[in-house]
């Protein structure tokens, strides 16, 4: 990886981040219907209270000055103050971020493993019954809204059979040691993670199947077969390595999808992460928290894209040279 | 499959009209299991799920269609301009496209819907405004190759203006691609609308399938075991999305020059 490439990518990253932060400002502070302006304009305050409110949110400054104050706060990690929790937004987010990472991380890991495995199964028996059934099932699963998949799982595992807990992070009132706590959280994690996996693994299996089918007809695959290598070795070692690039791109792009799914899934299963926080802040009109969550999600996606760009360089010698 | 969905939604409500003002009048009439009187049971307000389902499909489809229209016009338009003029216009437009491509779509839709209110108009607008970048990218790459074709060069040497070339010679050539993309964007839009309505950001008056699911979830129908209330609109969404994406994928396979050689 050349230093020049890295600098260029870093510069792009910084610019994108800056634009995102500014976009966020535009969305929440400038556009008509921006919540703080609405609040200050509302007729229910006496003039003193209104003046205080305007001063508190810095609305007495010209827009450009507001923008710079906003940027300065951003740099200092100040995301504002939650209306509902009466705590800094960063504190509120801090309590939720770990839970979301746990959920999304587990789901992503299982998704990639299962999705790629299914894709390989389908591609190595291309145009067979296995292939067709995997593809059709994937398409059907892909068409399901995440929250609906979650609701079905709740019916199956929670309402009809009671095998797994369907809501929250821990069993309320359960007192156990550290190990018992981990097991409890793990049991609560299964259904939400499974829901996210279903929808997204379908996506991955479709992508990896299609790229693998493309790779399988390349000349070097014929060479590998002519060398008398086993079918399994050919697929897993030679084909998959070359199909890795689109899969990495897909991973980066679908972080956005998985986060969108997390909002729905956390709502359905009352998983106390950022998705549930977004849902609650929408319901309670807690705009500073909503703003913080959105910013964090956007940054997460941008960062993943950046990493996947760098991974490209490592994975594919052809890109490295250019 | 698509035909069945459309027929059911178009004709269904005429045969089985849904009266949103008729509520159940006794405790026994709420959350009833499917029976001959109520084919798919009743809701927590004693309303008929099946009839609500038929009307809800219209809203889901309506929002999906209008959102898709916005997205396609924006995407195709920007893609066309970007691909045709190339140069600095292309660079600027594609930077913007990349930026919107990277932003997490569902959170953005939720934020916009939360800020601008809950009506099917706002929902369509918001979904439309966030679904165009993919289309713009695809159309642009196709236009980029079209503009170098001898056909276009020849027309230009005959003195045709940019607008005329775009309208008469490039647009017809990318039109099939636009249609294939339309079906795919549409299935995405229906999904986005469902998610938005489920999170309580749908139009509370115009009940779509997503709104029905929102009501079912928040009224505790799940713990009552009222599967009919959840499954009916849910399966509706899945079938509609699947129908559109199957059409989109097959159109894509036939029409997309990048995929045509395959298989």
Please tell me the distance in Å from B236's CA to the nearest CA on chain A: 10
Res B262: pLDDT: 42
With a cut of 80, say whether residue B224 has pLDDT above it.
no
Asked whether residue B91 is domain-assigned, the answer is: yes
Q: What is the mean pLDDT of chain A?
A: 78
**CB distance B163 to B81 below 8 Å:** no
As a whole-number percent, the residues of chain B with pLDDT over 70 amount to: 71
CA distances from A118 to A186, A191, B213 (A): 25, 21, 31
If one compares B243 and A61, the residue with the highest pLDDT of the two is B243
Whole-model pTM: value is 0.78
Res B263: pLDDT: 39
Asked whether residue B5 is domain-assigned, the answer is: no
DSSP A9-60: HHHHHHHHHHHHHHHHHIIIIISTT-HHHHHHH-TTS-HHHHHHHHHHTTTT
- Mean pLDDT value of segment A270-289: 83
What is the total count of domains within chain B?
1
pLDDT digits (tens, 9 = 90+) for B25-48: 555 555 556 666 555 566 666 566
Res A86: pLDDT: 75
Helices (H), chain A: 3-25, 35-41, 47-56, 63-75, 89-124, 129-142, 146-153, 178-216, 219-226, 231-233, 240-269, 274-283, 287-315, 317-321
Other CB atoms within 10 Å distance of the CB of residue A282: 23
If one compares B250 and A113, the residue with the highest pLDDT of the two is A113
Which of B107, B200, B222 is opposite residue A159, by nearest beta carbon? B222
Give CA–CA dist A108/A307, Å, rounded: 16
pLDDT digits (tens, 9 = 90+) for B154-194: 877 787 777 777 777 778 778 877 887 888 888 888 888 88
Asked whether residue B39 is domain-assigned, the answer is: no
Q: Is B199 on the interface with A (CB under 8 A)?
A: yes
Which of B105, B198, B234 is opposite residue A260, by nearest beta carbon? B105
Give the range of the structural domain holding residue B74, as residue numbers without chain letter.
Answer: 49-255
**Closest Cα in chain B to A292:** B111
Asked whether residue B76 is domain-assigned, the answer is: yes
Q: Which of B174, B93, B88 lies closest to B138 in space, CA to CA? A: B174
Q: CB–CB of B213 and A148 under 8 A?
A: yes
Which of A33, A159, A256 is opposite residue B105, by nearest beta carbon? A256
Q: Is B37 on the interface with A (CB under 8 A)?
A: no
Asked whether residue B217 is domain-assigned, the answer is: yes
Q: CB–CB of B112 and A27 under 8 A?
A: yes
Strand-pair partners of A88: A81
Res B23: pLDDT: 54
- In this prediction, residue A93 has a pLDDT band, given cuts at 50, 70 and 90, of confident
Strand-pair partners of A81: A88
The two tokens of residue B210 are 């997503």
Give CA–CA dist B229/A62, Å, rounded: 52
- Mean pLDDT value of segment B128-133: 84
Dihedral of alpha carbons B141, A219, A250, B60, sign: positive
Res B258: pLDDT: 55
- Give the domain A3-32+79-321 fold: MetI-like fold (1.10.3720)
If one compares A292 and B226, the residue with the highest pLDDT of the two is A292
- In this prediction, residue A322 has a pLDDT band, given cuts at 50, 70 and 90, of very low
Q: Which of A146, A213, A314, A145 lies closest to B263 in space, CA to CA? A: A213
Give CA–CA dist B147/B89, Å, rounded: 15
With a cut of 50, say whether residue A196 has pLDDT above it.
yes
Give CA–CA dist A294/A80, Å, rounded: 13
The two tokens of residue A241 are 């390595």
- Mean pLDDT value of segment B218-235: 71
With a cut of 70, say whether residue A273 has pLDDT above it.
yes
- Nearest 5°: phi and psi at A307? -65, -40
Size of chain B in residues? 263
The two tokens of residue A304 are 């993943």
Report chain B residues whose CB lies below 8 A from the CB of A257. Answer: 105-106
Q: Which residues contact B54 (CB under 8 A, 6 or more apart)?
A: B8, B9, B12, B13, B16, B18
With a cut of 50, say whether residue A61 has pLDDT above it.
yes
The two tokens of residue B62 are 């309506």
With a cut of 70, say whether residue A318 has pLDDT above it.
no
Give CA–CA dist A191/A107, Å, rounded: 10
Give CA–CA dist B86/A200, Å, rounded: 35
Report chain B residues whose CB lies below 8 A from the CB of A144. Answer: 234, 237-238, 241
CA of residue A267 relative to chain centroid, distance: 15
pLDDT digits (tens, 9 = 90+) for A129-161: 877 888 888 888 888 888 888 888 887 777 677
B132-160 burial: b if 16+ Cβ within 10 Å, else e? bbbbbbbbbbbbeebbeeeebeebeeeeb
Asked whether residue B29 is domain-assigned, the answer is: no
Q: What angle do CA B92, A253, B82 make, to 5 degrees?
A: 20
- In this prediction, residue A298 has a pLDDT band, given cuts at 50, 70 and 90, of confident
Other CB atoms within 10 Å distance of the CB of residue A137: 14
Using the 8-state DSSP alphabet, how is residue A77 labeled? T
Res B91: pLDDT: 81
Res A291: pLDDT: 83
**Closest Cα in chain B to A256:** B104
CA distances from A130 to A126, A127, B43, B184 (A): 8, 8, 40, 25
Asked whether residue B24 is domain-assigned, the answer is: no
Residue A140: exposure state from Cβ atoms within 10 A (0-12, 13-18, ≥19): middle
**CB distance A90 to A292 below 8 Å:** yes
Q: Is B217 on the interface with A (CB under 8 A)?
A: yes
Q: Which of B243, B185, B190 lies closest to B68 in space, CA to CA? A: B185
Please tell me the distance in Å from B234's CA to the nearest CA on chain A: 6
pLDDT digits (tens, 9 = 90+) for B59-82: 888 888 888 889 888 888 888 888
Q: Where are the domains of chain A?
A: 3-32+79-321
As a whole-number percent, the residues of chain A with pLDDT over 70 amount to: 84
Q: What is the mean pLDDT of chain B?
A: 75
ipTM of the complex: 0.75
Residue with tokens 């490295």: A320
Please tell me the distance in Å from B240's CA to the nearest CA on chain A: 8
Which among A14, A18, A36, A145 is the top mutation candidate for probing chain B, defined by the most B β-carbons within 10 Å of its own β-carbon? A145
As a whole-number percent, the residues of chain B with pLDDT over 90 amount to: 0
Using the 8-state DSSP alphabet, how is residue A81 labeled? B
Asked whether residue B201 is domain-assigned, the answer is: yes
Give CA–CA dist A68/A64, Å, rounded: 6
Q: Which residues contact A213 (CB under 8 A, 6 or more apart)?
A: A123, A126, B262, B263
pLDDT digits (tens, 9 = 90+) for A4-44: 778 888 888 888 888 888 888 877 776 665 555 566 565 56
CATH number at residue B195: 1.10.3720.10
With a cut of 70, say whether residue A188 has pLDDT above it.
yes
- Mean pLDDT value of segment B245-257: 72
Give CA–CA dist A172/A43, Å, rounded: 43
The two tokens of residue A83 are 């209306």
**CB distance B46 to B29 below 8 Å:** yes
């Amino acid at each position: 990886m050349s230093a020049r490439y890295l600098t260029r990518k870093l510069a792009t990253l910084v610019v994108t981040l800056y634009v995102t932060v500014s976009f966020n400002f535009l969305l929440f502070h400038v556009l008509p219907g921006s919540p703080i302006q609405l609040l200050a304009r509302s007729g229910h305050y006496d003039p003193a209270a209104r003046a205080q409110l305007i001063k508190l949110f810095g609305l007495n400054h010209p827009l450009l000055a507001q923008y710079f104050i906003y940027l300065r706060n951003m740099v200092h990690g100040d995301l504002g103050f939650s209306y509902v929790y009466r705590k800094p937004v960063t504190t509120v987010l801090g309590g939720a971020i770990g839970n979301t990472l746990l959920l999304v991380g587990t789901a992503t890991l299982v998704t990639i493993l299962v999705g790629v495995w299914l894709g390989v199964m389908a591609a190595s028996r291309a145009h067979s019954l296995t292939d067709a059934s995997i593809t059709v099932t994937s398409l059907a699963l892909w068409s399901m809204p995440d929250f609906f998949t979650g609701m079905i799982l709740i019916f199956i595992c929670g309402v009809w059979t009671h095998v797994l807990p369907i809501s929250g992070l821990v069993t309320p009132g359960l007192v156990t040691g550290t190990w018992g706590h981990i097991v409890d959280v793990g049991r609560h994690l299964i259904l939400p993670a499974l829901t996210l996996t279903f929808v997204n693994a379908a996506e991955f299996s479709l992508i990896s199947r299609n790229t693998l089918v493309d790779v399988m007809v390349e000349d070097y695959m014929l060479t590998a077969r002519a060398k008398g290598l086993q079918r399994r070795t050919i697929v897993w070692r030679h084909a998959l390595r070359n199909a890795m690039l689109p899969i990495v791109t897909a991973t980066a792009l679908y972080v956005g999808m998985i986060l969108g799914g997390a909002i729905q899934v956390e709502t359905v299963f009352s998983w106390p992460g950022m998705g549930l926080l977004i849902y609650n802040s929408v319901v309670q009109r807690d705009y500073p928290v909503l703003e913080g969550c959105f910013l964090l999600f956007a940054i997460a996606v941008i960062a993943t894209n950046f990493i996947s760009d760098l991974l490209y360089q490592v994975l594919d010698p052809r890109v490295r040279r250019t | 499959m698509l035909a069945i969905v459309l027929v059911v939604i178009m004709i269904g409500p005429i045969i089985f009209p849904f009266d949103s003002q008729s509520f159940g009048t006794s405790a026994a009439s709420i959350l009833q299991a499917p029976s001959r009187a109520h084919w798919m049971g009743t809701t927590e307000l004693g309303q008929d799920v099946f009839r609500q389902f038929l009307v809800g499909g219209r809203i889901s489809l309506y929002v999906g269609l209008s959102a898709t229209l916005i997205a396609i016009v924006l995407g195709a338009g920007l893609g066309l301009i970007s691909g045709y003029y190339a140069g600095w216009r292309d660079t600027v437009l594609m930077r913007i496209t990349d930026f919107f491509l990277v932003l997490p779509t569902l959170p953005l839709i939720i934020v916009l819907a939360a800020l601008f209110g809950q009506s099917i108009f706002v929902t369509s607008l918001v979904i439309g405004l966030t679904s165009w970048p993919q289309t713009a990218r695809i159309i642009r790459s196709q236009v980029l190759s079209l503009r170098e074709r001898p056909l276009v060069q020849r027309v230009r040497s005959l003195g045709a203006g940019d607008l005329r070339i775009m309208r008469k010679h490039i647009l017809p050539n990318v039109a099939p691609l636009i249609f294939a993309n339309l079906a795919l964007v549409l299935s995405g839009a229906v999904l986005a609308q469902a998610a938005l309505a489920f999170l309580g950001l749908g139009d509370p008056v115009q009940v779509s399938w997503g709104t029905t699911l929102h009501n079912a979830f928040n009224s505790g129908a799940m713990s009552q075991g009222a599967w009919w209330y959840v499954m009916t609109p849910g399966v509706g969404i899945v079938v509609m999305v699947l129908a559109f994406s199957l059409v989109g994928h097959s159109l894509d396979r036939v029409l997309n020059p990048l995929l045509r050689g395959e298989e």
